[in-house]
Amino acid sequence: MKTVWEERGERKSVVAPLSLIVSAFAPVLDVRRTLTPQLRIDFGDTDLILIDLGRGKNRLGGSALAQVYNRWGDTVPDVESPEELAAFFAAIQALNAAGRLLAYHDRSDGGLLATLAEMSFAGGCGLTVLLDDLAENPLTVLFAEELGAVVQIRAADRAMVMRRLAAAGLGECSHVIGAPNGDDRLILRFGGEIVFSASRTELRRLWSETSYRLQALRDHPDCAREAFEAACDPADPGLNVRLTFGPAEGLAMPPVATGARPRVAILREQGVNGQIEMAAAFDRAGFAAVDVHMSDIIAGRASLADFHGFAACGGFSYGDVLGAGEGWAKSILFNPRAREEFAAFFARPDSFGLGVCNGCQMLSNLHELIAGTELWPHFVRNRVEQFEARLSLVEVLPSPSLFLQGMEGSRLPIAVAHGEGRAEFRAGAGAGAALAAGVVALRFVDNLGQPTERYPANPNGSPGGITGLTSRDGRFTILMPHPERVFRTVQYSWHPDGWGQDGPWLRLFQNARRWLG
């Protein structure tokens, strides 16, 4: 693209882009075999192997080291052999499919030092690395951004893995370079001496500070500081799980064996995009999920009288403008036909409803139509002042919610994706009153399991971590997080080993099916 204009008689032009970036895509045959940089310290003795496709050249042109010293260099890393790169890819795929790789990190974006540090951060452990076989000068191998990768394997698999790499023509450039240590330090050895040693916490603080300074300018500065402190806390155990149901009965319940599939309306409004996941979750729990748009109800093409329950979905209703869920609620409250439909549905003793994200925001603004919801808050802009999308940890509290029966006391990861999730309670109906009344169903907790208002464990700043509530009779539940996005284990970005196909959040949807009998 080129733009040309005249300014004060001078002809000017701008050409963009100035560089070419080529992206490629390929199908993923089995997402369960995804590799991450997270080092595993629960598999006994393990080794780190550097697969050096640069074959010892360690070219520093354009590297971070060269830029820091304002010496750009003449020679940059390059793909010397496309055939070797293809062989490397095939070997990694084969080793991964055989379950031989525990962790993986590409080297070419940052160099070996950045790779090792990031694997240490992800694994929450230290590393001891021997550099002698890699270069005559340790700086070159640590900062060269040559092609290659570091993989973690079980020590018992070393001979087999090295044979597989040799068969791919990579034997001479594959080096066992070290292993995790119990000192929580990154230790680099060269020539029989320790040339670098630093604590993981110290390195993580240095690594995170640039992001922290930028975030403090963009977001709420207190939230940026809290995130920085959390990332650099050496005692943080990371995401973890506590289940109060299973494992004897499995994470999910057996299906209701009546053969009937009750109808549930998957309710959406303009811009909502979470209806497919919601329908899939209810379908897996034994319902017949039916797509119902608000325009169908307003026009009289669909009636809630034909459904046992509904789920109000999330995902950018009305383009995710501020107060989108409130606008959705007003389309019901100020439309006689829609208001009558919802009021009659809420009054039925055999109906239930679930509101998630925008749907949570919408239902909270319909509290005047729903008995037993006088303590519900409405939801406003996140304290961090940004849209938040992450895997967060929540605790299931004892409540009458039909969706969460048998899950009380569980601590579970769940997907969040919202810009307005902070609960704001009306005067005289604070968070304490809702907790005392037993209508709080979910709350954010930190990685030690304590309710929190600190960011990022609490992504929106809700008081007491409150992020889910129920009506006093338990038939209507509102949640800001997204259980429908993690009802299958494969949907998690992280989960404990040993989970089967169904994740624990499927229980929420199965509870609704069992409630109907």
Which single residue is written with the structure tokens 């979750």? Answer: 281
Q: Which two tokens stand for residue 283?
A: 């379908």
Residue 450 lies in a domain: yes
Helix axes 158-167, 82-97, angle to 10 degrees: 150
Task: Indicate if 484 belongs to the active site.
Answer: yes
Point out the catalytic residue in the list 232, 357, 378, 395.
357
Residue where a domain terminates, one of 189, 207, 225: 207
Mean pLDDT over 3-17 rounds to: 88
pLDDT of 253 higher than 90: no
What's the pLDDT score for residue 509?
97
Q: What pLDDT sits at residue 153?
A: 98
pLDDT in tens, 113-141: 999 999 999 999 999 999 999 999 999 99
Q: Tell me the CATH number at 110.
A: 3.90.650.10
Count CB atoms within 10 A of the CB of residue 412: 25
- CATH code, domain carrying 419: 3.40.50.880
Q: Is residue 11 part of a domain?
A: no
| Domain count across the chain | 2
What average pLDDT does the structure give for the chain? 93
DSSP state of 385: S
Structure tokens at 384: 């961090």
Encoded amino acid at 222, one letter: D
Q: What is the pLDDT of residue 254?
A: 63
Q: 3-class SS at 228?
A: helix
Same domain, 179 and 293: no
Pairwise pLDDT comparison (72 vs 329), residue with the higher score: 329
Secondary structure in 3-state letters for 311-331: EECCCCHHHHCCCHHHHHHHH
Q: Are residues 198 and 310 in the same domain?
A: no
- The distance in angstroms from the start CA to the end CA of the chain is 63
Q: Mean pLDDT, to the nearest integer, of 326-335? A: 93
Band of pLDDT at residue 248, cut at 50, 70 and 90: very low
pLDDT computed for residue 249 by the predictor:
46
**For residues 498 and 249, what is the distance between their CA atoms, to the nearest angstrom?**
14
- Please name the residue ranges forming H helices in 285-425: 294-299, 324-333, 336-347, 358-364
Three-state secondary structure string covering 470-485: ECCCCCEEEECCEHHH
Looking at the structure, do residues 192 and 298 belong to the same domain, yes or no?
A: no
* Residue 317 pLDDT exceeds 80: no
Same domain, 192 and 281: no
Asked, for residue 1, whether it belongs to a domain, the answer is no
Residues 445, 511, single domain; the answer is yes
pLDDT at residue 322 in the model: 65
Mean pLDDT of 192-212: 96
- What pLDDT score does 427 carry? 79
More confident residue, 356 or 498: 356
pLDDT for residue 53 is more than 90: yes
443 and 343 housed in the same domain: yes
190 or 74, higher pLDDT: 190
Residue 125 bears catalytic tag: no
- pLDDT per residue over 476-496, tens digit each? 999 999 999 999 999 999 999
In this predicted structure, the answer to whether residue 32 has a pLDDT above a threshold of 70 is yes
pLDDT bracket for residue 179 (50, 70, 90): very high
CA distance 273 to 202: 42
Q: Tokens at residue 359, please? A: 């749907």
**What are the residues facing 196 on neighbouring strands?**
188
- Euclidean distance between CA atoms 458 and 462, whole angstroms: 7
pLDDT band at 271 (very low <50, low <70, confident <90, very high): confident
160, 186, 207 - which closes a domain: 207
Can you state the angle between helices 200-218 and 112-123, rounded to 10 degrees?
A: 90
Q: Is the pLDDT of residue 212 over 50?
A: yes
- Asked if the structure places residue 222 within a domain, the reply is no
Residue 255 has what pLDDT? Answer: 64
Query: 0.75 exceeded by the pTM?
Result: yes
Looking at residue 316, its pLDDT comes to 72
Instruction: For residue 236, tell me if it sits in a domain.
Output: no
pLDDT band at 8, cuts 50/70/90? Answer: confident
* 51, 136: one domain: yes
Contact 177, 136 (CB under 8 A): no
Catalytic residue among 105, 293, 482, 495: 482
The average pLDDT across 64-87 equals: 92
pLDDT at 68 over 70: yes
Residue 445: how many other CB atoms lie within 10 Å: 20
Q: Specify which residues 130 forms β-bridges with.
A: 189
Dist. CA 351–CA 265, nearest whole Å: 11
Residue 251 has pLDDT above 60, yes or no: no
Do 310 and 400 lie in one domain? The reply is yes
Model confidence at 515, in pLDDT bands (50, 70, 90)? Answer: very high
158: containing domain: 31-207
Pair 199, 291 in one domain: no
- Would you say residue 373 lies in a domain? yes
User: Would strands 309-312 and 263-268 be described as parallel, antiparallel, or unpaired?
Assistant: parallel
| Same structural domain, 185 and 272 | no
CA 359-269-493 angle, to 5 degrees, is: 55
Residue at 6 is within a domain: no
Q: Are residues 356 and 269 in the same domain?
A: yes
From the candidates 145, 326, 453, 484, which is the catalytic residue? 484
Q: Report whether pLDDT(428) > 80.
A: no
Which DSSP helix (H) or strand (E) runs through 195? strand 193-199
In a domain, 332, yes or no: yes
Domain identity same for 268 and 136: no
For helices 275-284 and 506-516, the axis angle rounded to 10 degrees is 60
Domain limit, last residue, from 187, 207, 227? 207
Q: Is the pLDDT of residue 22 over 90?
A: no
